[in-house]
Amino acid sequence: MATITTISQSVGANRIVPTVAIPYPVGNPTLSAEDEHAMRREMVERAVNGLATEITESTQFE
């Protein structure tokens, strides 16, 4: 999970899940608690799916 995906690619990360923003990579303080929980859950699900996906090159999981 990374806020600046171009840096992740440049250092050779093979699986990249974009996050929200530098000060709040896996959160958004402007959302309600329920909406933020849903957003975080979706990000974690993307990350887990990324780990379960076979890849041959650097891949972003949007």
Structural tokens at position 34: 């329920």
Question: Domain span at residue 55?
Answer: 5-60
**CA-to-CA separations, 25 to 2, 32, 40, 43, in angstroms, rounded:** 7, 16, 10, 10
Number of structural domains (the chain) is 1
Global confidence as pTM: 0.84
Long-range contacts formed by 24-31: CB under 8 A, 24+ apart: 25/1, 26/1
CA nearest 62: which of 54, 52, 49, 23?
A: 49
**How confident is the model over 6-56, as pLDDT tens digits?**
999 999 999 999 999 999 999 999 999 999 999 999 999 999 999 999 999
- Amino acid identity for residue 39 in this structure: M
The tokens for 46 are: 């993307």
